DNA sequence: ATGGTTACATACCGATGAGTACAGAAAGTT
DNA sequence: AACTTTCTGTACTCATCGGTATGTAACCAT
């Protein structure tokens, strides 16, 4: 009813996302966050609860954005194979607000926090399953349209590609040779033949 | 010349490896280390330099052990395809001292530290390249022996499989369904057909 | 304009972080 | 047995951690 927030919550969340993305959860301090979010300490606690709660909110926002982005990417592609190629290529080149060598926030979280926190294990696993589901639909559409061989096991391929996409996102963090990852992607696409 | 160390350095390093493996670099404190290594704070600094130096030593030891283990695994398998299958299966089941849901220390490091530290980026990338090289040799041996089709692109397949192996190790950290990863591995093995 | 409420900003809290000084204990050498 | 050297263990430093108390400024309804 009185005195509205002076900062935009979504904008602050985006800033927090950037910081967690760059530094990881443990290495990010509250001071890092308040500086980049442009707000004061007590405001952070009042608006977002605390470091862990803020991170959960940030991660949730990230998965929403990321999955929507991937869904659009896949559905707008001219063919099933192109869809998968564009998706994997995007991981290499960092499309959709990604910075290549920072990988995927959700995958980073899977590595850092999933083994120690059940809720993060569940959240990150769920993210991965949703990607698999999107890929499965893309592949099945391709089969239905006659672009892909009817004998393909859409579920198995979607799972293999998801695992590979995770590996690709992680590999990017070590700044690999361009030819290395391009080559891997090309080979992975033969799963669709 | 006088008073030898009261602790075994290699044993202490193994203990430190365990801790870093479980908690990651940032989340591990010196107290965590000294407790599990069974030594006192100043002994740690005297013997290993400091947290970062200790971690570098630990990571070096880890890559040595891991690569030797993988090399043996691949070379002892009855066939090229079996070799790759056993390797990927090992990631799922946690062979060779691995604990499944902790993933691979070197891959964890790639995620946590590679983007912020050039030396770790190099070290982890090198680890990955060595695995690729081992896989390439295995595949080429298979082709030479007639187990695998002569038209296969050994380099590309080795790269794709390495990326997938990385993804698999990461995926394991979120405690996925057994069928999910088994399925993915089976599908990935079709790259060798 | 004013009262009641909420956000902001400074300054602080205890706990813990990495790293070290220093004294006492143990070993090899003579 | 005494001396020198190195390791061990306690206790400390200073910085920073996550989180909070408190006073002040800003807003809205009346």
pLDDT, tens digit, 9 for 90 and up, residues B95-115: 655 566 789 999 999 999 999
In this complex, the answer to whether residue B47 has its CB under 7 A from any atom of chain D, a nucleic strand, is yes
Rounded to an integer, the average pLDDT of A154-161 is 98
User: Residues 27 to 46 of B: which have CB under 8 A from any A CB?
Assistant: 27
pLDDT for position A99 = 65
* Per-chain mean pLDDT for chain A: 93
A168 at interface of B, judged by CB pairs closer than 8 A = yes
pLDDT for position B25 = 94
Backbone φ/ψ region at A50: left (φ over 0), alpha (ψ -120 to 50), beta: left
The domain defined by A59-192 folds into Tetracycline Repressor; domain 2 (1.10.357)
Distance in Å, alpha carbon of A159 to nearest chain B alpha carbon: 5
Q: Minimal CA–CA distance to A175: which of A70, A92, A114, A82?
A: A92
Of B115, B153, B164, the CB nearest to A102: B115
- Give yes or no for residue A82 having a pLDDT over 90: yes
User: Residues 81 to 110 of B: which have CB under 8 A from any A CB?
Assistant: 101-103, 107-108, 110
CATH 1.10.357.10 fits B62-192, yes or no: yes
pLDDT for position B178 = 97
- Give yes or no for residue A2 having a pLDDT over 70: no
Q: Between the CA of B172 and the C1' of D15, what is the distance in angstroms?
A: 37
Sort out which chain B residues have CB atoms less than 8 A from A160's CB and list them: 164, 183-185, 187-188
The Cβ of residue A152 has, within 10 Å, a number of other Cβ atoms equal to: 18
pLDDT for position A8 = 87
- Residues 6 or more apart whose Cβ sits within 8 Å of residue A62: A17, A105, A106
A132, closest residue in chain B (CA to CA): B180
Rounded to an integer, the average pLDDT of A167-173 is 97
Q: How many CA atoms lie within 13 A of B163 on its CB side?
A: 34
Rounded to an integer, the average pLDDT of B123-146 is 98
- Say if the Cβ atoms of A191 and B187 lie within 8 Å: yes
């Amino acid at each position: 009813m009185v005195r509205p927030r002076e900062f935009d919550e979504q904008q602050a969340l985006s800033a927090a996302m950037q910081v967690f993305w760059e530094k990881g959860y443990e290495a990010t301090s509250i001071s890092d966050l308040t500086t980049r979010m442009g707000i004061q300490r007590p405001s952070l606690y009042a608006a977002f609860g605390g470091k862990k709660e803020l991170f959960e909110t940030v991660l949730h926002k990230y998965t929403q954005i990321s999955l929507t982005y991937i869904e659009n990417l896949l559905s707008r592609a001219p063919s099933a194979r192109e869809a998968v190629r564009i998706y994997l290529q995007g991981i290499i080149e960092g499309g959709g607000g990604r910075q290549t060598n920072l990988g995927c926030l959700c995958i980073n979280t899977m590595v850092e926090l999933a083994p120690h926190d059940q809720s993060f294990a569940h959240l990150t696993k769920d993210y991965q399953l949703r990607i698999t589901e999107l890929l499965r639909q893309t592949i099945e559409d391709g089969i239905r349209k006659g672009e892909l061989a009817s004998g393909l096991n859409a579920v198995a391929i979607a799972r293999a590609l998801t695992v590979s996409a995770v590996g690709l996102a992680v590999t990017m963090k070590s700044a690999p040779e361009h030819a290395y990852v391009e080559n891997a992607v090309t080979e992975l696409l033969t799963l669709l033949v």
